[in-house]
């Protein structure tokens, strides 16, 4: 078939798309056809590195010659049926009249935003990079954190109409193989028309898709994802989405914040307690206030009772209607401020808070205690923004329970909800681990946080291949011999592998505290001498034995966790 | 609706036991005991806790001897199916009665203190969905949820006791009650105890490994100490007027109500009572479910929940209407029910511990299949033509046995004796033939059936080889005898 006819057929198969472009040349009697899409290709590369060398060539143009003429490296020979796919992926397809072979040159380019600090998780200290919508950029951001061959990136294509690229990222030797297999199986089993965003995969990966509870981890920052991968989790990068998913997910992950790993551990522990209290206040606060006011006013201390009675006596609504009204008003204001431009959003907030609230109180429509209770609950809601949607729903549920059943119903509701959360196991991880089941080892980085040097093992809430994060003597020796942080500067290249291990460990601590042992596994494998390798293995065994002895609780609770949830 | 029951670890079992040690015991019991036995009622508490400890130790001993078996399997293997059913019917009644009693006590507490102007059914409506959800979600979910609340329960009770110590204003007056009073009070108020038998009901669901039993023991000891401490602080705080204050843990905190300038802090005691009541009732329901499952094995588990709910609602409403009957039930009838956990159950458990290991009935999934196959094969064997003639003779012989033959007809009697002797020999031969063929068929089955576990196969194989050896010898012996 002639090249011109082939080009015409391709144009037809792409429905005469407006961004379809073709160039046809004749070089010494050999017809050359170049086909691409203007919208997703780099025009300058095309003209300088592809079109210009071919057009200026004087000689017999064969397929082998053509391969050498093209300057970019990403050149591949493709089959007839792959032409359309390659064009759609941003390649220039080159056809010759004297050859049946077809060449594809990847010059994909589209405008993407640079990695910037995501608005959902800002940090005071720490890296400010965030994922973008381009999955290749996201892979680059991960690659920069793992200079090891153990970083596995597996490609999957999901969506009948969208053919969305999905990349499964995990650390070989750390992530559990069964976990990887089950995630892959779930993703491959999806028969959906399109995956527009990573959120589309959440309900597919969740063990209970109808649940209001969040069951899949989401993060927009590469340092968070890297830290989770080091714990043995699997990351799922979806093209066109800056949100990367991680499995398995436990509730604790949202209680932790990336800031916690870049500040003092005692302060981090304090903040986590504050977050948990805030979460409790946000969910139960308005409901408890209603329950006390409606059912149990007699158990309120006398001083508070007088204050509340004095403030609420002129309000025409019942306490439930009053609280519900204020809550809904707040929700409306929140929605408006979220969608409006920032300058208008600020104005709306002022109008809502000052005019509506203040005037409402002065007019006697709402009482000051109710405004305070709702305001506290709504502010507390955003101490853990990742959980805000779930907690908002719970807030209304508990408000209803508090108004209808009182304190007994409220506590019953809490037990019910926690039992429900306890029944969820996604990819083998109990939802409320390490609190229930209680896992001592994992509690080192739960509500309270210990120094990073004491977090020697990976989480036991779910399976992973290698439990050891920091070998025992690698942690002890810096303080004994070198005095801590200067070790990484003092230990040179010619040092023993043990020192290298220390170096790596400490360096990891300096750069990314949660990734302090990113090299642990690879270091063990890459030992120069067999003796040192054996020592390292011995350390691991000793450490494992030490962990076994460390507490009865831990051992027992490890046994309880199974893989039944997968 | 599915009911999931997965195993729990020793910590979770210990925490469930810990929770069961409270509720009534820190609420109305100290006041009631003081009314009858004064300060000496502390000894009653200690005595009952020692009895309860005995139950825990019995459970641990039983668990050590039969680590993987359920209490039902132990009962069936040692005492038979009827005893098993009787036991689990008793468990059902016991836990149901306890649930009703607990509900009555907590109901009165809530009505008096926090739900003065509300409907009677509201409290019932609060409890039922939550305890049903906990029980249906399974023992593991219940254990985990309880584990989550454990620090809250423990810290609040410890806080109450510590705060209560500041309220102690006068010295206690000991030894004013006679020993008879103490004994009578003990007998009258034994009903909150004996909850530790729940461990026997969920025996096979608890994973205990070597040395882990200490955890359960420690948790039990902590709960016992806290109950005794609460009662002691309560009695020392109110001394002579203790009997007038019915809710111990609540009263010891309200006694020091200006603590920290916060005003009333008895709300937290109320919270812990509510949490304990929920878990307590849920555990009772779960135990009822397990017992129901043993009594009615063919009925779906969910019906046990429906039965409990129906009976519970009816009984509770009846008692709400007739509060005097409820008091009579609690004080006069229920103490007799304590014979079961403190007398009958320990005796049977001790016998089971004393008897050497018996072959425990196999689980119906695998063992049931095997037994069915073997029985079918036995029937087939009997239909063989060779055996039919023997059976005919046997029928004749059995017929002859029933016929009255006149004593003067000697020939006929001799003939009859001959036939009977022949019949006995034939019976022996038939039995031996049958057993031999059954053994062969067993071997075939063991070779072919994949669904039978390897362990079972090995057991049966070893038994077969022993038996076949024995039968060969017997055959030889009979043949020699026949020849002679």
B110 interaction partners in chain A (CB closer than 8 Å): 408
Kindly report, residue by residue over A256-307, the tens digit of the pLDDT: 888 888 889 999 999 999 999 999 999 999 999 999 888 888 777 777 888 8
Expressed as residue numbers, the domain containing B464 is: 364-483
Residue A174 to residue B289: CA distance in whole angstroms: 42
Residue in A405, A422, A560 closest to B122 by CB: A405
Of the residues B330, B354, B378, which one is the last residue of a structural domain?
Answer: B354
pLDDT in the model for residue A532:
37
B114 at the A interface (CB within 8 A)? Answer: yes
DSSP codes joined into one string, A497-511: HHHHHHHHHHHHHHH
A549 CA: distance to closest CA in chain B (Å) = 13
| Residue B158 and residue B216 in one domain | yes
B1: in domain:
no
pLDDT for A469: 84
Tell whether B3 is covered by a domain: no
Q: What is the pLDDT of residues A369-398, one digit of tens each?
A: 999 999 999 999 888 888 889 999 999 999
Q: Is residue B465, in this structure, part of any structural domain at all? A: yes
Contacts of A280 in chain B (CB under 8 A): none
Query: Which residues of chain A neighbour B140 with C-beta distances below 8 Å?
Result: 560
Residues B275 and B226 in one domain: yes
Q: Which of A416, A551, A557 to mutate to test the interface with B (most CBs of B within 10 A)?
A: A416
Residue with tokens 């200026």: A56
* ipTM value for the complex: 0.75
Q: What is the pLDDT at residue B262? A: 59
Q: Rounded to whole angstroms, how far apart are CA atoms B468 and B456?
A: 18
Asked whether residue B368 falls in the same domain as residue B348, the answer is no
Number of domains in chain B: 2
Residue of A411, A425, A429, A440 to mutate when probing chain B, most B C-beta within 10 A: A411
User: Which tokens sit at B410?
Assistant: 């000697």
Same domain, B272 and B375: no
Nearest CA distance, B92 vs chain A (angstrom):
24
Report chain B (484 residues): mean pLDDT per 10 consecutive residues.
73 92 81 84 90 92 88 90 92 92 86 77 89 92 93 92 81 77 85 89 86 86 92 85 80 66 75 92 93 89 91 89 78 83 91 72 46 53 50 50 45 63 72 68 53 51 46 45 42
The pLDDT, as a whole number, for residue B456 is: 52
Out of A295, A304, A556, name the one closest to residue B114 (CB): A295
Sign of CA dihedral B299, B300, B303, B304: positive
B371 and B321 part of one domain:
no
Supply the DSSP string of B163-224, one letter for each residue: HHHTT--S----S-S-HHHHHHHHHHT-TT--GGGHHHHTGGGEE--TTTHHHHHHHHHHHH
Is the distance from CB of A152 to CB of A183 less than 8 angstroms?
no
- Chain B 264-293, residues with CB within 8 Å of chain A CB atoms: 264, 266-267, 270-271, 274-275, 278-279
Contacts of A33 by beta carbon, 8 Å cutoff, 6+ apart: A3, A4, A6, A7, A22, A23, A24, A94, A95, A96
Residue stretches of chain A with pLDDT short of 70? 1, 72-73, 472-566
| Same-domain pairing of B88 and B115 | yes
Q: For residue range A501-533, what is the model confidence (pLDDT) as tens digits?
A: 333 333 333 333 334 343 344 333 333 333 333
Give contacts of B 122-141 with A, CB under 8 A.
Answer: 122-123, 125-127, 129-130, 133-134, 137-138, 140-141
Same domain, B227 and B269: yes
In b/e form, how buried is each residue of A364-377, taking b as 16+ CB within 10 angstroms? ebbbebbbebbebb
Q: Are B347 and B414 in a shared domain?
A: no
Is residue B385 situated within a structural domain? yes
Which of B2, B114, B257 should we substitute to test contact with A (largest number of A Cβ atoms within 10 Å)? Answer: B114
Q: Does B9 touch chain A (CB under 8 A)?
A: yes
Kindly state whether B104 is in contact with chain A, defined as any CB-CB distance less than 8 angstroms. no
> Domain segments of chain A: what residues?
3-106, 135-254, 262-423, 454-560
For residue B212, give the CATH number of its domain.
1.20.1740.10
**pLDDT for residue B440:** 65
A306 in contact with chain B, both atoms CB, cutoff 8 A? no
Interface check B172 vs A, CB under 8 A: no
Q: Is B478 domain-assigned?
A: yes
Tell me which chain B residues have a C-beta less than 8 angstroms from the C-beta of A416: 129-130, 133-134
Query: In this complex, which of B11, B127, B211 lies closest to A557 when CB atoms are compared?
Result: B11
CA of A505, closest CA in chain B: separation in Å? 35
A406 touches B at CB < 8 Å: yes
Q: Which residue, B319, B354, B389, sits at the end of a domain?
A: B354
Domain finish residue from B354, B380, B406: B354
**Angle formed by the axes of helices A265-294 and A319-339, to 10°?**
140
Q: Note whether B103 and B140 are same-domain residues.
A: yes
């Amino acid at each position: 078939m002639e090249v011109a006819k082939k080009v015409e057929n391709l144009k037809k198969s792409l429905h005469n798309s407006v961004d379809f472009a073709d160039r046809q040349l004749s070089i010494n009697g050999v017809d050359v056809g170049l086909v691409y899409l203007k919208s997703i290709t780099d025009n300058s590369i095309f003209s300088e590195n592809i079109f210009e060398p071919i057009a200026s060539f004087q000689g017999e143009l064969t397929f082998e010659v053509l391969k050498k003429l093209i300057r970019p490296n990403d050149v591949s020979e493709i089959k007839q049926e792959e032409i359309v796919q390659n064009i759609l992926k941003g390649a220039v397809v080159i056809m010759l009249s004297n050859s049946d072979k077809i060449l594809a040159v990847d010059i994909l380019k589209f405008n993407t935003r640079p990695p910037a600090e995501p608005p959902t998780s800002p940090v005071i200290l720490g890296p400010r990079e965030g994922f973008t919508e381009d999955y290749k950029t996201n892979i680059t951001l991960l690659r920069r954190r793992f200079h090891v061959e153990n970083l596995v990136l597996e490609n999957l294509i999901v969506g009948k109409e969208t053919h969305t690229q999905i990349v499964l990222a995990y650390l070989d030797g750390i992530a559990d193989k069964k976990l990887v297999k089950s995630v892959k199986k779930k993703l491959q089993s999806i028969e959906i028309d399109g995956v527009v965003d990573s959120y589309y995969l959440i309900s597919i990966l969740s063990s209970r898709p109808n649940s209001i509870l969040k069951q899949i981890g989401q993060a927009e920052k590469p340092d968070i994802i890297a830290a989770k991968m080091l714990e043995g989790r699997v990351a799922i990068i979806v093209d066109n989405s800056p949100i990367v998913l991680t499995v398995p997910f436990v509730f604790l992950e949202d209680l932790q914040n990336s800031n916690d790993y870049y500040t003092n551990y005692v302060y981090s522990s304090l903040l986590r307690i504050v977050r948990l209290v805030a979460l409790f206040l946000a969910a139960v606060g308005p409901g408890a206030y209603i329950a006390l006011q409606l059912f149990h006013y007699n158990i309120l201390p006398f001083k508070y009772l007088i204050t509340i009675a004095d403030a609420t006596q002129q309000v025409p609504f019942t306490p439930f209607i009053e609280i519900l009204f204020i809550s809904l008003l707040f929700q409306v204001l929140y929605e408006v401020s979220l969608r409006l431009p920032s300058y208008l959003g600020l104005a709306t907030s002022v109008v809502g808070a000052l005019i509506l609230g203040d005037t409402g109180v002065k007019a006697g429509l709402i009482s000051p205690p109710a405004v305070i209770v709702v305001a506290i609950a709504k502010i507390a809601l955003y101490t853990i923004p990742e959980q805000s949607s779930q907690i908002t729903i719970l807030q209304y549920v508990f408000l209803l329970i508090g108004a209808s059943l009182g304190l007994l119903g409220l506590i019953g509701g809490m037990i019910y909800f926690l039992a429900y959360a306890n029944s969820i196991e996604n990819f083998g991880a109990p939802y409320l681990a390490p609190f229930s089941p209680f896992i001592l080892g994992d509690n080192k980085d739960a509500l309270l946080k210990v120094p990073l040097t004491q977090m020697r093992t990976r989480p036991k809430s779910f399976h992973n291949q290698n439990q050891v994060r920091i070998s025992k003597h690698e942690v002890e020796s810096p303080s004994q011999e070198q005095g801590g942080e200067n070790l990484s500067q003092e230990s040179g290249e010619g040092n023993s592998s043990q020192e290298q291990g220390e170096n790596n460990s400490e360096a990891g601590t300096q750069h990314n505290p949660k990734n302090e042992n990113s090299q642990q596994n690879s270091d063990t494998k890459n030992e120069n001498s067999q003796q040192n390798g054996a020592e390292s293995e011995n350390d691991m065994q000793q450490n494992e034995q030490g962990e076994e002895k460390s507490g009865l609780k831990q051992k027992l609770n490890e046994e309880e966790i199974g893989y039944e949830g997968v | 609706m599915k009911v999931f029951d997965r195993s729990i670890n020793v910590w979770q079992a210990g925490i469930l036991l810990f929770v069961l040690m409270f509720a009534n015991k820190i609420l109305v019991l100290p006041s009631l005991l003081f009314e009858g036995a004064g300060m000496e009622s502390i000894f009653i508490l200690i005595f009952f806790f020692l009895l309860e400890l005995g139950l825990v130790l019995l459970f641990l001993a039983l668990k050590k001897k039969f680590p993987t078996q359920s209490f039902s399997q132990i009962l069936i293997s040692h005492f038979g199916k009827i005893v098993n059913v009787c036991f689990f019917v008793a468990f059902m009644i016991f836990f149901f009665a306890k649930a009703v009693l607990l509900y009555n006590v907590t109901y009165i507490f809530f009505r008096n203190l926090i739900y003065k102007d509300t409907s009677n059914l509201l409290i019932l409506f609060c409890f039922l969905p939550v305890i049903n959800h906990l029980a249906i979600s399974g023992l593991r979910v219940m254990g985990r949820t309880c584990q989550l609340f454990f620090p809250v329960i423990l810290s609040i009770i410890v806080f109450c006791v510590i705060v209560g110590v500041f309220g102690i204003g006068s010295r206690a007056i000991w030894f004013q009650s006679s020993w008879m009073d103490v004994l009578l009070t003990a007998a009258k108020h034994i009903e909150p105890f004996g909850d530790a038998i729940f461990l026997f009901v969920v025996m096979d669901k608890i994973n205990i490994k070597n040395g882990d039993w200490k955890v359960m023991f420690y948790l039990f000891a902590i709960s016992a100490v806290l109950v005794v401490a609460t009662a002691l602080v309560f009695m020392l705080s109110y001394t002579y007027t203790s009997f007038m204050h019915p809710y111990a843990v609540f009263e010891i905190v309200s006694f020091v109500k200006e603590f920290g300038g916060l005003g009333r802090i008895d709300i937290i005691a109320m919270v812990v009572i509510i949490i304990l009541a929920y878990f307590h009732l849920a555990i009772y329901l779960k135990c009822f479910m397990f017992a129901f499952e043993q009594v009615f094995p063919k009925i779906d588990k969910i019906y046990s929940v429906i039965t409990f709910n129906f009976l519970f609602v009816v009984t509770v409403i009846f008692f709400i209407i007739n509060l005097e009957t409820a008091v009579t039930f609690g004080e006069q009838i229920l103490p007799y029910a304590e014979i079961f956990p403190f007398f009958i159950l320990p005796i049977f458990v001790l016998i089971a511990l004393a008897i050497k290991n018996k072959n425990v009935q196999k689980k119906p999934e695998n063992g049931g299949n095997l037994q069915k196959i073997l029985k079918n094969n036995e029937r087939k064997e009997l239909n063989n033509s060779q055996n039919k003639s023997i059976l005919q003779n046997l029928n004749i012989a059995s017929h002859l046995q029933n016929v009255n033959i006149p004593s003067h007809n000697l020939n006929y009697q001799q003939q009859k004796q001959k036939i009977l002797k022949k019949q006995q020999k034939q019976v022996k031969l038939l039995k031996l033939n049958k057993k031999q063929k059954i053994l062969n068929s067993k071997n075939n089955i063991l070779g072919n059936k994949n669904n039978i576990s390897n362990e079972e196969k090995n057991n049966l194989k070893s038994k077969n080889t022993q038996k076949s050896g024995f039968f060969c010898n017997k055959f030889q012996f009979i043949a020699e005898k026949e020849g002679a």
